[in-house]
Amino acid sequence: MTRTAIVTGAARGIGAATATRLAADGHAVAVLDLDEAHCADTVAAITDAGGRALAVGANVADATAVTDAVARVEAELGAPTILVNNAGIIRDNLLFKMSEDDWDSVLSVHLRGAFLMSRAVQAHQVTAGWGRIVNLSSTSALGNRGQANYAAAKAGMQGLTKTLAIELGRYGVTANAVAPGFIVTDMTRQTAERIGVGMDEFIAARAAEVPVGRAGYPDDIAAAVSFFCSEEAGFVSGQVLYVAGGPRA
């Protein structure tokens, strides 16, 4: 059955791969990111393959922007019943160097953004009696040096997920989280630059630590999200799936 999905942070990386995968699954997809113009490539990839997509610019941490964005999606694609909260930023630093703005910015985009988007979309899901929410967490939720803000945000995403599953389950809505390990994206490149290591060297070193012997890619995460959004996953809720090439990588 065709549904309408919203994927946040979908201009590139994991978000773009997820939006493309959900479109391939037969859904209409709202490609949402901070700058609508940056969504063009993802939208083109979907429409060129015969799918339906809409570029939407919105700051997920802004309540009014979220309300307006969801209303636009409803008007142009149909009531959204699938939500993937993928939008995120990094402001890595050791605790003693981390500014309050570094902390607040990361928590705001990840957690406040997921809260606002989920609150807006759940109204359509409850009305439909069906819905899927997938939140992007991370292996960093288990703790990671230089990422106190990001780790806290990604751990918070897991608590939010489990609570949404409890509150919304009676309305036919499931909520699950995907926790990627080392995934090659532009955000990964930022990390390599921050520590002063070349990208190829950084990938090789990290891949050597992964039990399956390779780095992960956005399509690996998109496949997991696709499952959680499927009809067949209706009895799976409140779960955190680590997609990391091993127990922790």
Q: Which residues are annotated as catalytic?
A: 150
Residue 97: count other Cβ atoms within 10 Å of its Cβ: 9
CA distances from 3 to 6, 124, 174 (A): 10, 12, 15
Q: Could you give the angle at the alpha carbon of 197 between the alpha carbons of 193 and 201, nearest 5°?
A: 125
* Residue at 135: amino acid letter: N
DSSP 74-131: HHHT----EEEE-------B-GGG--HHHHHHHHIIIIIHHHHHHHHHHHHHHHHT-E
Residue 245 and residue 135: Cα distance in Å, rounded?
Answer: 19
Structure tokens at 31: 């490609």
DSSP 20-39: HHHHHTT-EEEEEESSGGGG
Q: What is the 3-state secondary structure (H, E, C) of 170-226?
A: HHCEEEEEEEECCECCHHHHHHHHHHCCCHHHHHHHHHCCCCCCCCECHHHHHHHHH
Nearest one of 118, 94, 89 to 106, comparing CA atoms: 89
Task: Give the DSSP H or E segment for 2.
Answer: none
